[in-house]
Amino acid sequence: MTDDKFLEQLRGDAKGLRFEGDEFLSARIAAHVRERVSAPPTVYQFLAAWMRPVAASLVALVVTVTISINWSQRNQEADSLSSNPIEIAMAGEYYGVGE
C-alpha cells in the first residue's frame, strides 16, 4: 500500500470520528472567552504581573554585577603579576616569571 492510498483510507476512516460543533457551541465558546478577558484580575494575578518584571530585573542586575566583579578580579590578578614579577632562585641562579 502506498502512502497516498494509506492517507486516503485513513481520511475516509476518520470522517465518522470528526466532531463539528453547531452554532450554539461556538456562541458558548465566544461567551466564555469574553467572560475570561473581561474578568478583573485576582490578587495573585495582579501580584504576579508586578513581581515578574521586578524579579527579572533583579536577576539581570545580579548577573551583571557577578560578571563585572569576576572581570575586575581577573584584571587585578593580571596587573599584580606584571607589576610584581615572581623570581625563583635555583642553584644560585635567579629566574624571573612574568617579565
> Which tens digit of pLDDT belongs to each residue from 25-51?
889 999 999 998 898 888 998 999 899
Beta bridge partners of 96: 87
Cβ neighbours of 91 (radius 10 Å): 4
The pTM (predicted TM-score) of the whole model is 0.42
Confidence of residue 22 (pLDDT cuts 50, 70, 90): confident
pLDDT, residue 74, reads 81
Would you state the cell numbers that stand for residue 78, as one nine-digit string? 593580571
55-80 tens-digit pLDDT: 999 999 999 999 999 888 887 766 66
3-class DSSP state for residue 41? coil
Domain boundaries, the chain: 3-97
